[in-house]
Each structure stands twice: as C-alpha cells, then as structure tokens.
Amino acid sequence: YIVVLQYAAGGQLMDRIIRRFGSRRPYTESEVASILRSLLSACAHMHARRIVHGDLKPENLLYIDDTDDTLAVADFGFAQLCTDGDFLSKFRGTLDYMAPELLGPVKRYNARADVWSAGVLLFVLLSGALPFRR
C-alpha cells in the first residue's frame, strides 16, 4: 500500500498545545470539540477501510497551514489492516496514548485502541497534561 499525504505547513498539534498552555491560554470546550470532531472523523474514515492507525498522538496530527484549523493524520508507520471481528497483536504505539489492552501480557486490540488514544488527547487538550503518570 501507498499512503499519499497532503503537505502540512501548519505544524503539529503538539506545538500548538505547548504554546497555548505555555502562555496560559487553555483551549475552550468549543475548540477542543472541533479538534476531536476532526480526529474522530478521520478515525471513522480509516476504520471504515479497516485501517487501525496505532499511534494517534498530538505529534501525528498536523495542521494544513497556520491560518486554518484543518487537521491531517500523519505517520501511518504503525498502521495495520484489521478485518471485522479480528484482533491485532503487535505491540505498537506511544505508551502515553496506548490503550490498556496493549499493555497486558496478551495483546489483543482493534480500532477501539485509536478511540482510546483520542480520549487521552481529549484529556490533554482540556488539562494540558497527560492523564496517567509513569
């Protein structure tokens, strides 16, 4: 498979999160809802095609340009096909955004792991911090 991505000159969502919380201007609920709506729409598109991204995090969400709030999902290096009713078992992703089913001795996960990552991102956008400490 080949994935062609649009050039995203606006940088990573993580850069914007750091700037916003660094200047003590947290995101509004409306802004968070807009970001999550974009991400979950992209997840629905991927999952409808049986693609599990496997590494959704702010560093892999890119803005198309500086003046637009359009997000693009990047870094499909861990993406895998997952047929309906099937499960994946390879340990992939970034620990802070990983679903619990990836952390146990038996790794069995599917597209729901991407939804978990979106939930972690929701927490980060609202609080400026990760929900779990290592």
List, in sequence order, every residue forming a beta bridge with 81; answer none if it has no partner: 51
Question: Would residue 68 show up in a list of annotated catalytic residues for this protein?
Answer: no
Q: Is the distance from CB of 76 to CB of 108 less than 8 angstroms?
A: no
Per the CB < 8 A criterion, the answer to whether 88 and 52 are in contact is yes
Token pair, residue 70, equals 């359009």
DSSP element (H, E) containing 112:
helix 112-127
Integer CA distances (angstroms), 90 to 22, 72, 114, 117, in order: 36, 25, 14, 17
- The residues with which 12 forms a beta bridge, in sequence order, are 62
Catalytic residue among 55, 69, 86, 114: 55
Q: Which residues are catalytic?
A: 55
